Amino acid sequence: MLATVGAVLAARNDDAEILGVLDLTNRTEAKLGAIRLGNAIQFVANASVLGYDVRAAMVFYGEPGTPSLRAKDCEQLWAQYGVALLQP
């Protein structure tokens, strides 16, 4: 994972943008608005159960140049720090 866990946890309430999520129902890219980083990680980690393909998903947050999170990163973060990511 490129981003450090500490940086992600510190930014969990910051705005994030998710790109590259495919809605399997209509085979189009899902249009997701700005969302808290913690919620974005939760969504990507659980999206396959909800009918989305996140193999190409990227979560952008923070200042330009901050490493984005991939689906695998989100799954690992959610599995280890799920409760902490949702805390205000």
Please write the tens of the pLDDT for every residue from 25-65: 999 999 888 999 999 999 999 999 999 999 999 999 999 88
Domain that holds residue 78: 5-83
**Do 36 and 12 contact (CB within 8 A), yes or no?**
yes
Q: With respect to residue 9, please indicate whether it lies within any of the assigned structural domains.
A: yes
Q: pTM score, two decimals?
A: 0.90
Q: With respect to residue 48, please indicate whether it lies within any of the assigned structural domains.
A: yes
Q: With respect to residue 88, please indicate whether it lies within any of the assigned structural domains.
A: no
Pairing state between β 52-53 and 35-36: unpaired
Q: With respect to residue 16, please indicate whether it lies within any of the assigned structural domains.
A: yes
Say how many CA atoms lie within 13 Å of 30 toward its Cβ.
24
Q: How many domains is the chain partitioned into structurally?
A: 1
Q: Which residues contact 37 (CB under 8 A, 6 or more apart)?
A: 8, 11, 12, 13, 14, 15, 16, 59, 61, 85
